Amino acid sequence: MESQSAKPIIAALLQPLPVLTQPQARNDLGDEAVVRLLVHQFVELSLEAFNEALHGRLDQDEAVDGINRQAIALNAVFLGTSGFDTVIAHPWNSPDQLGAFLKDVVALDYPEDDCVRAMLIQLATQVMHALRLPEEDRHEEVEALTLDAADLLLGRAPEDDGEFDIDIGG
């Protein structure tokens, strides 16, 4: 399966956090710090892929494929099907809960079992668009997108206008 090559990276991200934040040495998908860390790492990996493609060190299709592999692997993590024993999933982490929520709130036209991946691809697209902003605005925009995505994965709709900021329209 396509996500197999992304599994080692996702597995490394899921190494238990320090005992100070996770006394059970497991990553709880109900813990805001864990979810934000996973989304932040996805954004960082996306930025790295964009940068590698921009400088010609990676073909654009390869960069997109790598981002998609990460999104597929995180889809499995957030929907509780990854098989990682270091992850604590909750009833929320299922296609009929989280997937349906994302499908509704983000207005995704994907099956519920693919909505985390679709939302993350939209996030990567918005991050790419944010790179066009002046440098002083770029970090703030990427951080806002990251926090919005983490909130969605925790079941919190964006507070501002009720719409998720991620829009794949050009």
The answer to whether residue 167 sits within a structural domain is: no
pLDDT tens per residue, range 120-140: 999 999 999 998 899 889 999
Percent of the chain exceeding pLDDT 70 equals: 78
Least confident of 16-20, 65-69, 113-117, 122-126: 16-20
String of DSSP letters for 152-170? HHTT---SSSSS-S-----
The answer to whether residue 25 sits within a structural domain is: yes
pLDDT of residue 161: 45
Long-range CB contacts (within 8 A, 24+) of 135-141 = none
CB atoms within 10 A of CB 109: 7
The answer to whether residue 159 sits within a structural domain is: no
List the domain range (segments joined by +) for residue 84.
Answer: 2-153
Token pair belonging to 120:
């993350």
Decide if pLDDT at 142 tops 60: yes
The answer to whether residue 8 sits within a structural domain is: yes
The answer to whether residue 168 sits within a structural domain is: no
Calculate the alpha carbon distances from 142 to 1, 47, 148, 166 in Å.
30, 10, 10, 11
Calculate the alpha carbon distances from 72 to 28, 42, 57, 82 in Å.
19, 11, 23, 10
Decide if pLDDT at 150 tops 50: yes
pLDDT of residue 83: 86
Model confidence at 104, in pLDDT bands (50, 70, 90)?
Answer: very high
pLDDT of residue 28: 93
Report the mean per-residue pLDDT for the chain.
Answer: 84
Range with the largest mean pLDDT of 3-12, 78-87, 99-108? 99-108
Taking the C-alpha atoms of residue 60 and residue 53, their distance in angstroms, rounded to an integer, is 5
Q: By three-state DSSP, how is residue 50 classified?
A: helix
pLDDT of residue 119: 98
The answer to whether residue 160 sits within a structural domain is: no
**Residue listed under structure tokens 């944010």:** 130
The answer to whether residue 158 sits within a structural domain is: no
Residues 6+ apart with CB under 8 A from 128: 46, 50
Taking the C-alpha atoms of residue 31 and residue 14, their distance in angstroms, rounded to an integer, is 13
What is the number of domains present in the chain?
1
The answer to whether residue 169 sits within a structural domain is: no
The larger pLDDT score, comparing residue 5 to residue 119, is at 119
CB-based burial, 5-21: b 16+ in 10 Å, e otherwise: ebbebbeebbeebeeee
